[in-house]
Amino acid sequence: MTHRVTLLPGDGIGLQVARAVQRIIDAAGVAIEWDEHRLREDAPPTERLALLDTVERAIRRSRVALQGKFIHPFSSEYQTFTIAIRQRLELFANLRPIQSM
């Protein structure tokens, strides 16, 4: 059985981490159809809305998404893709597994 996963690889280190995670999952033998969408935090507002619409449809279709780290400007007036996607999908939890060293 093939599973469809929406992949938002991010940028900077996020892109590298997303690629590593893809290789790990593929090596585990899980059949994944990667539906990749590249978001650009520096995209113009009209392009951002179109990108968000496309990504929202993809996530709703696959019901699973893997998101890498995005580099974004620090501004209280700026809404990141991460926040915009969470709001559109009505997601309120952001789990961050940690391990004590």
pLDDT band at 52 (very low <50, low <70, confident <90, very high): very high
**Per-residue pLDDT at 82 exceeds 70:** yes
pLDDT band at 97 (very low <50, low <70, confident <90, very high): confident
Identify the pLDDT of residue 75.
62
User: Quick check: 70 and 82 in contact, CB under 8 A?
Assistant: yes
Identify the pLDDT of residue 39.
84
d(CA 90, CA 24): 29
Residue 48's contacts (CB-CB under 8 Å, 6 or more residues apart) are 81, 84
**Per-residue pLDDT at 74 exceeds 70:** no
Domains of the chain by start residue, with CATH: 3-88 (3.40.50)
pTM, to two decimals: 0.80
**Tokens of residue 76, six digits:** 């209280």
d(CA 41, CA 48): 8
User: What average pLDDT does the segment 68-95 reach?
Assistant: 79
pLDDT band at 90 (very low <50, low <70, confident <90, very high): very high
CB burial of residue 62 (10 Å; 0-12, 13-18, 19+): middle
